[in-house]
Structure 1
Amino acid sequence: MSAAQAPVKFALRHSQERGQANHGWLKTFHTFSFADYFDPAHSDFGSLRVINEDRVEPKTGFGTHGHREFEIFSYVVSGELQHNDSMGNMEVLKRGDLQMTSTGTGIRHSEMTHGDKQVHFLQIWSKPSQSRLPPTYYTRHFSDTEKKDNWVRIVAPVNAPGVSSEREAPGPAPVHSPLTLYASLISPGASLSHVLADAPANRRAYIHVVQTSGYNTKESKGAAVSVAGTGAGEAVLREGDGLYVTAAPGQELKVSNVGEGVAEVLLFELD
Protein backbone atom coordinates (compact mmCIF):
# COMPACT_ATOMS: atom_id res chain seq x y z
CA MET A 1 0.00 0.00 0.00
CA SER A 2 1.47 3.38 -1.01
CA ALA A 3 1.68 6.35 1.38
CA ALA A 4 -1.17 8.04 -0.47
CA GLN A 5 -3.33 4.92 0.06
CA ALA A 6 -2.39 4.31 3.71
CA PRO A 7 -5.42 4.58 5.97
CA VAL A 8 -6.26 7.75 7.86
CA LYS A 9 -6.95 7.39 11.59
CA PHE A 10 -9.61 9.44 13.40
CA ALA A 11 -10.21 9.97 17.13
CA LEU A 12 -13.26 12.06 18.01
CA ARG A 13 -13.14 14.55 20.90
CA HIS A 14 -16.71 15.34 21.98
CA SER A 15 -17.43 18.89 23.13
CA GLN A 16 -18.90 17.86 26.49
CA GLU A 17 -15.81 15.77 27.26
CA ARG A 18 -13.56 18.82 27.16
CA GLY A 19 -12.40 20.41 30.39
CA GLN A 20 -14.83 23.15 31.32
CA ALA A 21 -15.37 25.82 33.95
CA ASN A 22 -17.96 28.50 34.62
CA HIS A 23 -16.46 31.29 36.73
CA GLY A 24 -19.37 33.67 36.14
CA TRP A 25 -17.26 36.25 34.34
CA LEU A 26 -15.66 33.48 32.24
CA LYS A 27 -17.20 30.42 30.64
CA THR A 28 -14.49 28.25 29.16
CA PHE A 29 -13.76 24.90 27.53
CA HIS A 30 -10.30 23.30 27.38
CA THR A 31 -9.45 20.84 24.60
CA PHE A 32 -6.12 20.09 26.32
CA SER A 33 -5.03 20.02 29.97
CA PHE A 34 -5.14 23.57 31.30
CA ALA A 35 -5.46 25.30 34.71
CA ASP A 36 -7.38 22.92 37.04
CA TYR A 37 -8.20 20.48 34.23
CA PHE A 38 -5.72 17.66 33.69
CA ASP A 39 -6.07 14.66 31.42
CA PRO A 40 -2.85 12.91 30.31
CA ALA A 41 -4.66 11.62 27.21
CA HIS A 42 -5.29 15.23 26.10
CA SER A 43 -2.24 17.30 27.00
CA ASP A 44 -0.96 18.34 23.59
CA PHE A 45 -0.87 17.28 19.94
CA GLY A 46 2.38 17.89 18.15
CA SER A 47 3.30 21.52 18.82
CA LEU A 48 -0.34 22.38 19.61
CA ARG A 49 -0.67 22.89 23.37
CA VAL A 50 -3.88 24.85 24.09
CA ILE A 51 -7.28 25.35 22.47
CA ASN A 52 -9.50 27.20 24.92
CA GLU A 53 -12.94 28.33 23.76
CA ASP A 54 -13.64 31.32 26.00
CA ARG A 55 -16.64 33.55 26.61
CA VAL A 56 -15.83 36.60 28.72
CA GLU A 57 -18.51 38.88 30.18
CA PRO A 58 -18.45 42.69 29.67
CA LYS A 59 -16.09 44.78 31.80
CA THR A 60 -14.05 41.72 32.79
CA GLY A 61 -11.20 39.68 31.38
CA PHE A 62 -7.74 38.33 31.96
CA GLY A 63 -5.78 40.95 33.92
CA THR A 64 -2.10 41.61 33.36
CA HIS A 65 -0.04 38.43 33.68
CA GLY A 66 3.14 36.98 32.24
CA HIS A 67 4.09 34.28 29.73
CA ARG A 68 7.28 32.97 28.20
CA GLU A 69 8.29 30.34 25.64
CA PHE A 70 4.84 30.00 24.05
CA GLU A 71 3.21 31.42 20.95
CA ILE A 72 -0.29 32.57 21.82
CA PHE A 73 -2.93 33.57 19.31
CA SER A 74 -6.52 34.69 19.70
CA TYR A 75 -9.23 34.03 17.10
CA VAL A 76 -12.20 36.34 17.69
CA VAL A 77 -15.64 34.85 16.99
CA SER A 78 -17.89 37.64 18.31
CA GLY A 79 -17.71 40.74 20.47
CA GLU A 80 -14.58 42.83 20.99
CA LEU A 81 -11.36 41.94 22.80
CA GLN A 82 -8.85 44.53 24.01
CA HIS A 83 -5.20 43.45 24.07
CA ASN A 84 -2.51 45.36 26.00
CA ASP A 85 1.07 44.18 26.52
CA SER A 86 4.45 45.13 27.93
CA MET A 87 5.80 45.77 24.40
CA GLY A 88 3.46 48.77 24.15
CA ASN A 89 0.85 47.17 21.92
CA MET A 90 -2.80 48.11 22.44
CA GLU A 91 -5.43 46.81 20.07
CA VAL A 92 -9.18 46.19 20.00
CA LEU A 93 -9.89 42.99 18.10
CA LYS A 94 -13.21 42.19 16.44
CA ARG A 95 -14.75 39.31 14.51
CA GLY A 96 -12.36 38.12 11.84
CA ASP A 97 -9.32 39.46 13.66
CA LEU A 98 -6.44 37.26 14.76
CA GLN A 99 -3.59 38.36 16.98
CA MET A 100 -0.46 36.34 17.67
CA THR A 101 2.06 36.98 20.43
CA SER A 102 5.34 35.13 20.36
CA THR A 103 6.18 35.41 24.06
CA GLY A 104 9.79 34.21 23.74
CA THR A 105 11.93 35.44 26.61
CA GLY A 106 8.87 36.88 28.35
CA ILE A 107 6.02 39.38 28.05
CA ARG A 108 3.16 40.60 30.22
CA HIS A 109 -0.27 41.17 28.71
CA SER A 110 -3.98 41.51 29.42
CA GLU A 111 -7.00 40.41 27.38
CA MET A 112 -10.19 42.25 28.39
CA THR A 113 -13.67 42.61 27.00
CA HIS A 114 -14.10 45.89 25.13
CA GLY A 115 -17.60 47.39 25.03
CA ASP A 116 -20.82 46.16 26.60
CA LYS A 117 -21.14 42.74 24.94
CA GLN A 118 -19.67 39.35 25.77
CA VAL A 119 -16.59 38.41 23.75
CA HIS A 120 -16.28 34.87 22.38
CA PHE A 121 -12.83 33.87 21.20
CA LEU A 122 -10.48 30.92 20.90
CA GLN A 123 -7.20 31.14 22.76
CA ILE A 124 -4.62 28.91 21.09
CA TRP A 125 -1.05 28.13 22.17
CA SER A 126 1.75 26.38 20.34
CA LYS A 127 5.23 25.40 21.48
CA PRO A 128 7.96 27.10 19.40
CA SER A 129 10.75 25.06 17.90
CA GLN A 130 13.31 27.54 19.28
CA SER A 131 13.73 28.87 22.81
CA ARG A 132 14.58 32.41 23.92
CA LEU A 133 13.10 34.11 20.87
CA PRO A 134 12.61 37.89 21.09
CA PRO A 135 8.97 38.73 21.95
CA THR A 136 6.95 39.82 18.91
CA TYR A 137 3.34 40.72 18.15
CA TYR A 138 1.28 40.36 14.95
CA THR A 139 -2.30 41.05 13.90
CA ARG A 140 -4.21 39.85 10.85
CA HIS A 141 -7.79 40.18 9.58
CA PHE A 142 -9.77 37.60 7.59
CA SER A 143 -13.29 38.45 6.45
CA ASP A 144 -16.29 36.13 6.46
CA THR A 145 -16.45 36.60 2.70
CA GLU A 146 -12.99 35.17 2.05
CA LYS A 147 -13.61 32.28 4.47
CA LYS A 148 -16.94 31.29 2.88
CA ASP A 149 -16.53 27.76 1.47
CA ASN A 150 -12.78 28.22 1.31
CA TRP A 151 -9.84 27.19 3.49
CA VAL A 152 -8.04 30.40 4.43
CA ARG A 153 -4.53 29.99 5.82
CA ILE A 154 -4.48 32.23 8.90
CA VAL A 155 -1.35 31.01 10.72
CA ALA A 156 1.74 29.42 9.14
CA PRO A 157 5.41 28.77 9.94
CA VAL A 158 7.51 31.91 9.77
CA ASN A 159 9.56 30.70 6.77
CA ALA A 160 6.61 29.36 4.76
CA PRO A 161 5.83 30.96 1.37
CA GLY A 162 3.63 34.05 1.58
CA VAL A 163 4.26 34.69 5.29
CA SER A 164 5.24 38.23 6.27
CA SER A 165 7.06 39.14 9.48
CA GLU A 166 5.45 42.61 9.47
CA ARG A 167 3.29 43.48 12.49
CA GLU A 168 0.26 43.98 10.22
CA ALA A 169 0.16 42.45 6.75
CA PRO A 170 -2.00 40.36 4.43
CA GLY A 171 -1.78 36.59 4.72
CA PRO A 172 -1.14 34.33 7.69
CA ALA A 173 0.43 35.30 10.99
CA PRO A 174 3.91 33.79 11.43
CA VAL A 175 4.54 31.12 14.06
CA HIS A 176 7.86 29.52 15.06
CA SER A 177 6.47 25.99 15.15
CA PRO A 178 5.51 23.40 12.51
CA LEU A 179 1.84 24.37 12.61
CA THR A 180 -0.48 25.72 9.91
CA LEU A 181 -4.02 26.83 10.75
CA TYR A 182 -6.87 27.16 8.25
CA ALA A 183 -10.31 28.65 8.86
CA SER A 184 -13.52 28.30 6.88
CA LEU A 185 -17.23 29.08 6.99
CA ILE A 186 -18.79 26.07 5.27
CA SER A 187 -22.29 26.50 3.86
CA PRO A 188 -24.99 23.82 4.22
CA GLY A 189 -24.46 21.16 1.55
CA ALA A 190 -20.96 22.40 0.67
CA SER A 191 -17.79 20.28 0.86
CA LEU A 192 -14.12 21.24 1.09
CA SER A 193 -11.08 19.07 0.53
CA HIS A 194 -7.71 19.50 2.18
CA VAL A 195 -4.62 17.60 1.06
CA LEU A 196 -2.04 17.12 3.79
CA ALA A 197 1.48 18.26 2.98
CA ASP A 198 3.71 15.84 1.08
CA ALA A 199 6.25 15.77 3.90
CA PRO A 200 8.88 13.13 4.74
CA ALA A 201 7.01 11.96 7.86
CA ASN A 202 3.42 11.20 8.77
CA ARG A 203 1.09 14.15 9.21
CA ARG A 204 -1.27 15.15 11.99
CA ALA A 205 -4.31 17.37 11.92
CA TYR A 206 -6.86 18.61 14.42
CA ILE A 207 -10.28 19.81 13.26
CA HIS A 208 -12.44 21.96 15.56
CA VAL A 209 -16.01 23.15 14.99
CA VAL A 210 -16.55 26.50 16.70
CA GLN A 211 -19.50 26.64 19.13
CA THR A 212 -21.24 29.60 17.47
CA SER A 213 -24.88 28.90 18.43
CA GLY A 214 -24.32 29.54 22.15
CA TYR A 215 -22.71 28.21 25.31
CA ASN A 216 -23.60 24.55 25.80
CA THR A 217 -22.00 22.15 28.29
CA LYS A 218 -24.09 19.15 27.26
CA GLU A 219 -24.14 17.01 24.12
CA SER A 220 -23.12 18.97 21.05
CA LYS A 221 -25.74 20.57 18.84
CA GLY A 222 -25.88 23.28 16.19
CA ALA A 223 -23.87 23.12 12.98
CA ALA A 224 -22.64 19.70 11.84
CA VAL A 225 -19.87 18.55 9.52
CA SER A 226 -18.67 15.15 8.39
CA VAL A 227 -14.98 14.41 7.87
CA ALA A 228 -13.92 11.59 5.56
CA GLY A 229 -10.51 10.06 4.87
CA THR A 230 -9.21 6.90 3.22
CA GLY A 231 -9.77 3.90 5.49
CA ALA A 232 -11.15 5.98 8.36
CA GLY A 233 -14.77 6.05 7.28
CA GLU A 234 -16.65 9.17 8.27
CA ALA A 235 -16.76 11.14 11.52
CA VAL A 236 -19.55 13.61 12.28
CA LEU A 237 -18.72 16.66 14.38
CA ARG A 238 -21.07 19.21 15.86
CA GLU A 239 -20.28 22.53 17.51
CA GLY A 240 -17.48 22.27 20.05
CA ASP A 241 -16.41 18.84 18.84
CA GLY A 242 -12.89 18.15 17.65
CA LEU A 243 -11.19 15.42 15.66
CA TYR A 244 -7.64 14.09 15.95
CA VAL A 245 -6.31 12.95 12.57
CA THR A 246 -3.15 10.98 11.78
CA ALA A 247 -2.29 10.15 8.19
CA ALA A 248 0.43 9.57 5.66
CA PRO A 249 1.75 12.59 3.74
CA GLY A 250 -0.37 13.64 0.78
CA GLN A 251 -3.61 12.17 2.11
CA GLU A 252 -6.86 13.99 1.39
CA LEU A 253 -9.46 14.98 3.98
CA LYS A 254 -12.98 15.89 2.90
CA VAL A 255 -15.04 18.13 5.19
CA SER A 256 -18.75 18.43 4.34
CA ASN A 257 -21.48 20.48 5.98
CA VAL A 258 -24.24 17.98 6.78
CA GLY A 259 -26.31 20.31 8.97
CA GLU A 260 -28.71 23.18 8.40
CA GLY A 261 -26.51 26.13 9.40
CA VAL A 262 -23.13 27.54 8.45
CA ALA A 263 -20.29 25.70 10.20
CA GLU A 264 -17.24 27.65 11.35
CA VAL A 265 -14.35 25.20 11.18
CA LEU A 266 -10.67 25.41 12.12
CA LEU A 267 -8.19 22.92 10.69
CA PHE A 268 -4.72 22.63 12.21
CA GLU A 269 -2.06 20.77 10.24
CA LEU A 270 0.99 19.63 12.19
CA ASP A 271 4.17 17.62 11.78
Structure 2
Amino acid sequence: MQFKYRPSEERGAADHGWLKTFHTFSFASYYDPRYENFGALRVINEDRVAPGQGFPTHPHREAEIFSYILSGQLSHKDTMGNVETMVRGDIQMTSGGTGIAHSEYNDHKTEGVHFLQIWALPNQRGLKPKYFTRHFTDEQKKDKIAHLVAPVGYEGVEEVRECEGLTPIHAPVHFFSSLISPSVSLTHKLLPSLNGKPNKLFYVQLVQSSGYNSKPAPKDGKGPLIKVTGGGQEATLGEGDGVFITGGKVGEEVSIENAGKGVGEVVLFEMDEE
Protein backbone atom coordinates (compact mmCIF):
# COMPACT_ATOMS: atom_id res chain seq x y z
CA MET A 1 0.00 0.00 0.00
CA GLN A 2 0.98 3.60 -0.58
CA PHE A 3 -0.40 6.43 1.60
CA LYS A 4 -0.85 10.03 0.46
CA TYR A 5 -1.74 12.31 3.37
CA ARG A 6 -3.91 15.36 2.63
CA PRO A 7 -4.18 17.99 5.41
CA SER A 8 -7.45 19.86 5.74
CA GLU A 9 -5.90 23.23 4.94
CA GLU A 10 -4.90 21.98 1.47
CA ARG A 11 -8.53 21.39 0.53
CA GLY A 12 -10.32 24.04 -1.46
CA ALA A 13 -12.19 26.36 0.92
CA ALA A 14 -14.81 29.04 0.39
CA ASP A 15 -16.99 31.18 2.64
CA HIS A 16 -20.00 32.57 0.76
CA GLY A 17 -21.81 33.67 3.89
CA TRP A 18 -24.83 31.40 3.40
CA LEU A 19 -22.50 28.50 2.43
CA LYS A 20 -19.18 27.53 3.99
CA THR A 21 -17.52 24.69 2.17
CA PHE A 22 -14.41 22.54 1.74
CA HIS A 23 -13.61 20.74 -1.52
CA THR A 24 -11.55 17.54 -1.54
CA PHE A 25 -11.43 17.58 -5.35
CA SER A 26 -11.40 20.36 -7.94
CA PHE A 27 -14.81 22.03 -7.86
CA ALA A 28 -16.29 25.39 -8.88
CA SER A 29 -13.49 28.00 -8.69
CA TYR A 30 -11.09 25.62 -6.90
CA TYR A 31 -8.77 23.71 -9.21
CA ASP A 32 -5.83 21.47 -8.39
CA PRO A 33 -4.66 19.09 -11.14
CA ARG A 34 -3.48 16.62 -8.48
CA TYR A 35 -7.01 16.25 -7.10
CA GLU A 36 -9.55 15.94 -9.89
CA ASN A 37 -10.87 12.51 -8.92
CA PHE A 38 -9.92 9.31 -7.11
CA GLY A 39 -11.15 6.25 -8.90
CA ALA A 40 -14.87 6.80 -9.49
CA LEU A 41 -15.03 9.56 -6.84
CA ARG A 42 -15.37 13.02 -8.38
CA VAL A 43 -16.61 15.28 -5.53
CA ILE A 44 -16.42 15.26 -1.73
CA ASN A 45 -17.65 18.62 -0.45
CA GLU A 46 -18.00 19.26 3.28
CA ASP A 47 -20.78 21.86 3.30
CA ARG A 48 -22.39 24.04 5.94
CA VAL A 49 -25.55 25.87 4.90
CA ALA A 50 -27.07 28.67 6.98
CA PRO A 51 -30.71 28.59 8.18
CA GLY A 52 -33.22 29.38 5.46
CA GLN A 53 -30.62 29.05 2.69
CA GLY A 54 -29.74 26.42 0.12
CA PHE A 55 -29.13 25.38 -3.46
CA PRO A 56 -32.00 26.37 -5.82
CA THR A 57 -33.22 23.97 -8.49
CA HIS A 58 -30.38 22.90 -10.77
CA PRO A 59 -29.82 19.99 -13.20
CA HIS A 60 -27.59 16.91 -13.03
CA ARG A 61 -26.93 14.09 -15.44
CA GLU A 62 -24.57 11.10 -15.66
CA ALA A 63 -23.56 11.34 -12.00
CA GLU A 64 -24.37 9.47 -8.80
CA ILE A 65 -24.87 12.13 -6.12
CA PHE A 66 -25.48 11.54 -2.44
CA SER A 67 -25.64 13.65 0.69
CA TYR A 68 -24.67 12.31 4.12
CA ILE A 69 -26.15 14.46 6.88
CA LEU A 70 -23.86 15.20 9.84
CA SER A 71 -26.02 17.70 11.76
CA GLY A 72 -29.12 19.78 11.19
CA GLN A 73 -31.62 19.04 8.43
CA LEU A 74 -31.59 19.17 4.64
CA SER A 75 -34.72 19.31 2.49
CA HIS A 76 -34.70 17.78 -1.00
CA LYS A 77 -37.14 18.33 -3.88
CA ASP A 78 -36.72 17.04 -7.44
CA THR A 79 -38.40 16.82 -10.84
CA MET A 80 -39.43 13.19 -10.21
CA GLY A 81 -41.71 14.37 -7.42
CA ASN A 82 -39.54 13.33 -4.49
CA VAL A 83 -39.82 15.60 -1.45
CA GLU A 84 -37.94 14.74 1.73
CA THR A 85 -36.24 16.30 4.75
CA MET A 86 -33.15 14.43 5.94
CA VAL A 87 -31.55 14.60 9.40
CA ARG A 88 -28.35 13.37 11.05
CA GLY A 89 -27.17 10.01 9.78
CA ASP A 90 -29.47 9.98 6.76
CA ILE A 91 -28.37 9.44 3.17
CA GLN A 92 -30.20 10.67 0.09
CA MET A 93 -28.95 9.21 -3.20
CA THR A 94 -29.79 10.79 -6.55
CA SER A 95 -28.88 8.72 -9.60
CA GLY A 96 -28.79 11.42 -12.25
CA GLY A 97 -28.77 9.18 -15.32
CA THR A 98 -30.21 10.88 -18.40
CA GLY A 99 -31.13 13.96 -16.38
CA ILE A 100 -32.79 15.26 -13.25
CA ALA A 101 -33.17 18.63 -11.54
CA HIS A 102 -33.33 19.09 -7.77
CA SER A 103 -33.02 21.64 -4.98
CA GLU A 104 -31.49 21.26 -1.52
CA TYR A 105 -32.43 23.68 1.25
CA ASN A 106 -31.99 24.15 4.95
CA ASP A 107 -35.53 25.04 5.96
CA HIS A 108 -34.76 25.27 9.68
CA LYS A 109 -35.22 28.78 11.06
CA THR A 110 -32.28 28.83 13.49
CA GLU A 111 -29.94 25.83 12.95
CA GLY A 112 -27.37 25.32 10.22
CA VAL A 113 -26.94 22.04 8.37
CA HIS A 114 -23.59 20.27 8.03
CA PHE A 115 -23.31 17.52 5.43
CA LEU A 116 -21.05 15.79 2.95
CA GLN A 117 -22.02 16.08 -0.72
CA ILE A 118 -20.46 13.25 -2.72
CA TRP A 119 -20.44 12.63 -6.47
CA ALA A 120 -19.29 9.49 -8.25
CA LEU A 121 -19.04 8.66 -11.94
CA PRO A 122 -21.60 6.00 -12.95
CA ASN A 123 -20.49 2.66 -14.33
CA GLN A 124 -22.99 2.99 -17.18
CA ARG A 125 -24.32 5.95 -19.13
CA GLY A 126 -27.93 6.52 -20.10
CA LEU A 127 -29.47 5.13 -16.91
CA LYS A 128 -33.00 6.04 -15.86
CA PRO A 129 -32.90 8.66 -13.06
CA LYS A 130 -33.68 7.24 -9.61
CA TYR A 131 -33.84 8.40 -6.01
CA PHE A 132 -33.11 6.44 -2.81
CA THR A 133 -33.04 7.25 0.90
CA ARG A 134 -31.64 5.33 3.86
CA HIS A 135 -31.60 6.11 7.58
CA PHE A 136 -28.72 5.18 9.92
CA THR A 137 -28.41 5.77 13.66
CA ASP A 138 -25.35 6.74 15.69
CA GLU A 139 -25.66 3.39 17.48
CA GLN A 140 -25.09 1.55 14.20
CA LYS A 141 -21.75 3.36 13.82
CA LYS A 142 -20.56 3.51 17.44
CA ASP A 143 -17.12 1.86 17.61
CA LYS A 144 -17.73 -0.15 14.46
CA ILE A 145 -17.36 0.48 10.76
CA ALA A 146 -20.86 0.65 9.30
CA HIS A 147 -21.37 -0.12 5.63
CA LEU A 148 -23.79 2.51 4.26
CA VAL A 149 -23.48 2.58 0.45
CA ALA A 150 -22.66 -0.24 -1.98
CA PRO A 151 -22.82 -0.83 -5.74
CA VAL A 152 -25.95 -2.25 -7.32
CA GLY A 153 -25.35 -5.99 -7.61
CA TYR A 154 -23.54 -6.24 -4.29
CA GLU A 155 -25.15 -8.66 -1.85
CA GLY A 156 -27.93 -7.04 0.16
CA VAL A 157 -28.42 -4.00 -2.10
CA GLU A 158 -32.06 -3.38 -3.00
CA GLU A 159 -33.02 -0.83 -5.65
CA VAL A 160 -36.08 0.43 -3.81
CA ARG A 161 -36.72 4.02 -2.83
CA GLU A 162 -36.59 3.46 0.93
CA CYS A 163 -35.84 0.44 3.09
CA GLU A 164 -33.39 -0.70 5.74
CA GLY A 165 -29.90 -1.67 4.66
CA LEU A 166 -27.38 -0.53 2.09
CA THR A 167 -27.89 2.49 -0.15
CA PRO A 168 -27.67 1.58 -3.87
CA ILE A 169 -25.18 3.35 -6.13
CA HIS A 170 -24.56 2.77 -9.84
CA ALA A 171 -20.81 3.17 -9.40
CA PRO A 172 -18.00 0.95 -8.04
CA VAL A 173 -17.98 2.77 -4.69
CA HIS A 174 -18.46 1.50 -1.13
CA PHE A 175 -19.04 4.11 1.59
CA PHE A 176 -18.61 3.49 5.32
CA SER A 177 -18.86 5.60 8.46
CA SER A 178 -17.77 5.16 12.06
CA LEU A 179 -18.02 7.02 15.36
CA ILE A 180 -14.77 6.01 17.03
CA SER A 181 -14.29 6.53 20.78
CA PRO A 182 -10.90 7.43 22.28
CA SER A 183 -8.46 4.49 22.51
CA VAL A 184 -10.63 2.32 20.24
CA SER A 185 -9.01 0.60 17.26
CA LEU A 186 -11.03 -0.83 14.36
CA THR A 187 -9.97 -2.96 11.40
CA HIS A 188 -11.35 -2.91 7.87
CA LYS A 189 -10.65 -5.78 5.46
CA LEU A 190 -10.64 -4.77 1.80
CA LEU A 191 -13.63 -6.29 0.02
CA PRO A 192 -13.67 -8.59 -3.01
CA SER A 193 -13.63 -6.56 -6.21
CA LEU A 194 -16.50 -6.42 -8.67
CA ASN A 195 -14.23 -6.23 -11.72
CA GLY A 196 -12.09 -9.20 -10.73
CA LYS A 197 -8.92 -7.12 -10.40
CA PRO A 198 -6.88 -7.44 -7.18
CA ASN A 199 -5.95 -3.80 -6.56
CA LYS A 200 -8.10 -1.51 -4.40
CA LEU A 201 -8.36 2.22 -3.73
CA PHE A 202 -9.24 3.45 -0.25
CA TYR A 203 -9.82 6.93 1.18
CA VAL A 204 -10.27 7.89 4.85
CA GLN A 205 -11.34 11.32 6.14
CA LEU A 206 -11.98 12.63 9.64
CA VAL A 207 -15.02 14.91 9.58
CA GLN A 208 -14.38 18.50 10.72
CA SER A 209 -17.05 18.44 13.42
CA SER A 210 -15.76 21.41 15.42
CA GLY A 211 -16.84 23.91 12.76
CA TYR A 212 -15.63 25.69 9.66
CA ASN A 213 -12.00 26.76 9.93
CA SER A 214 -9.65 27.06 6.97
CA LYS A 215 -6.63 27.07 9.27
CA PRO A 216 -4.70 23.85 10.04
CA ALA A 217 -6.68 21.42 12.18
CA PRO A 218 -5.22 21.16 15.70
CA LYS A 219 -3.44 17.92 16.57
CA ASP A 220 -2.96 18.65 20.28
CA GLY A 221 -4.77 15.50 21.40
CA LYS A 222 -7.69 17.45 22.90
CA GLY A 223 -10.02 16.29 20.13
CA PRO A 224 -10.17 13.18 17.95
CA LEU A 225 -6.93 12.08 16.38
CA ILE A 226 -7.18 9.18 13.96
CA LYS A 227 -4.22 6.93 13.16
CA VAL A 228 -4.58 4.99 9.93
CA THR A 229 -2.15 2.11 9.34
CA GLY A 230 -1.79 -0.58 6.71
CA GLY A 231 0.88 -2.27 4.64
CA GLY A 232 3.63 -0.74 6.74
CA GLN A 233 2.32 2.81 6.10
CA GLU A 234 0.81 5.23 8.62
CA ALA A 235 -0.99 8.59 8.64
CA THR A 236 -2.40 10.65 11.52
CA LEU A 237 -5.55 12.64 10.82
CA GLY A 238 -6.83 15.70 12.62
CA GLU A 239 -10.28 17.08 11.83
CA GLY A 240 -10.77 17.56 8.10
CA ASP A 241 -7.60 15.64 7.16
CA GLY A 242 -7.68 12.68 4.79
CA VAL A 243 -5.44 9.96 3.41
CA PHE A 244 -5.55 8.41 -0.06
CA ILE A 245 -4.46 4.76 -0.16
CA THR A 246 -3.45 3.04 -3.39
CA GLY A 247 -2.07 -0.41 -4.11
CA GLY A 248 -4.20 -2.22 -1.54
CA LYS A 249 -5.10 -5.84 -2.28
CA VAL A 250 -8.35 -7.68 -1.70
CA GLY A 251 -8.27 -9.16 1.82
CA GLU A 252 -5.61 -6.80 3.19
CA GLU A 253 -6.44 -4.87 6.34
CA VAL A 254 -6.42 -1.20 7.27
CA SER A 255 -6.44 -0.23 10.95
CA ILE A 256 -8.15 2.92 12.21
CA GLU A 257 -7.45 4.02 15.80
CA ASN A 258 -8.60 7.06 17.76
CA ALA A 259 -5.53 8.29 19.64
CA GLY A 260 -7.22 11.53 20.75
CA LYS A 261 -9.66 12.50 23.49
CA GLY A 262 -12.93 13.04 21.64
CA VAL A 263 -15.17 10.84 19.51
CA GLY A 264 -14.13 11.00 15.86
CA GLU A 265 -16.59 10.71 12.98
CA VAL A 266 -14.71 8.98 10.20
CA VAL A 267 -15.85 8.31 6.64
CA LEU A 268 -14.26 5.70 4.42
CA PHE A 269 -14.50 5.03 0.67
CA GLU A 270 -13.41 1.81 -1.02
CA MET A 271 -13.23 1.28 -4.77
CA ASP A 272 -11.86 -1.16 -7.30
CA GLU A 273 -8.81 0.06 -9.19
CA GLU A 274 -9.52 0.21 -12.91
TM range (shorter): over 0.9
**Structure 2 partner of 1:261:** 262
Which consecutive unaligned segments of at least 5 residues does structure 1 have? Answer: 1-7
- CA distance in structure 1 between the aligned counterparts of 2:198 and 2:79, rounded to whole angstroms: 39
User: Cα deviations across residues 131-154 of structure 1 (Å, max 9, x unaligned)?
Assistant: 010000000011001100111111
Alignment partner of 1:140 out of 127, 134, 141: 134
Write out aligned runs for 1:77-92 (5 A).
Answer: 77-92=70-85
How much does 1:201 deviate? Answer: 2.5
Supply the AA of the counterpart residue of 1:150. K
How much does 1:86 deviate? Answer: 0.4
Supply the AA of the counterpart residue of 1:220. A
**Structure 1 partner of 2:62:** 69
**Structure 1 partner of 2:118:** 124
How much does 1:213 deviate? Answer: 1.2
**Structure 2 partner of 1:205:** 202
**Structure 1 partner of 2:180:** 186
Provide the TM-score with structure 2 as the length reference: 0.94
The answer to whether 1:156 aligns with 2:153 is: no
- CA distance in structure 1 between the aligned counterparts of 2:204 and 2:119, rounded to whole angstroms: 15
User: Cα deviations across residues 186-214 of structure 1 (Å, max 9, x unaligned)?
Assistant: 01110110011244321000101111111
**Structure 1 partner of 2:217:** 220
**Structure 1 partner of 2:245:** 245
Judge which range, 213-222 or 236-245, deviates more. 213-222
Write out aligned runs for 1:94-113 (5 A).
Answer: 94-113=87-106
Deviation above 3 Å: which 4+ runs of structure 1? none
- CA distance in structure 2 between the aligned counterparts of 1:198 and 1:89, rounded to whole angstroms: 34
Judge which range, 243-252 or 88-97, deviates more. 243-252
User: Cα deviations across residues 41-79 of structure 1 (Å, max 9, x unaligned)?
Assistant: 000000000000000001110000001000000000001
**Structure 2 partner of 1:11:** 4
Supply the AA of the counterpart residue of 2:207. V
Write out aligned runs for 1:227-242 (5 A).
Answer: 227-232=228-233, 234-242=234-242
Supply the AA of the counterpart residue of 2:76. H
Supply the AA of the counterpart residue of 2:8. S
Alignment partner of 1:50 out of 33, 43, 48: 43
How much does 1:223 deviate? Answer: 1.8
Secondary structure, aligned partner of 1:16: helix
Secondary structure, aligned partner of 1:167: coil
How much does 1:220 deviate? Answer: 1.0
Supply the AA of the counterpart residue of 1:255. I
- CA distance in structure 1 between the aligned counterparts of 2:158 and 2:217, rounded to whole angstroms: 37
Secondary structure, aligned partner of 1:139: strand
Write out aligned runs for 1:18-37 (5 A).
Answer: 18-37=11-30
- CA distance in structure 2 between the aligned counterparts of 1:157 and 1:198, rounded to whole angstroms: 12
Alignment size in residue pairs: 263
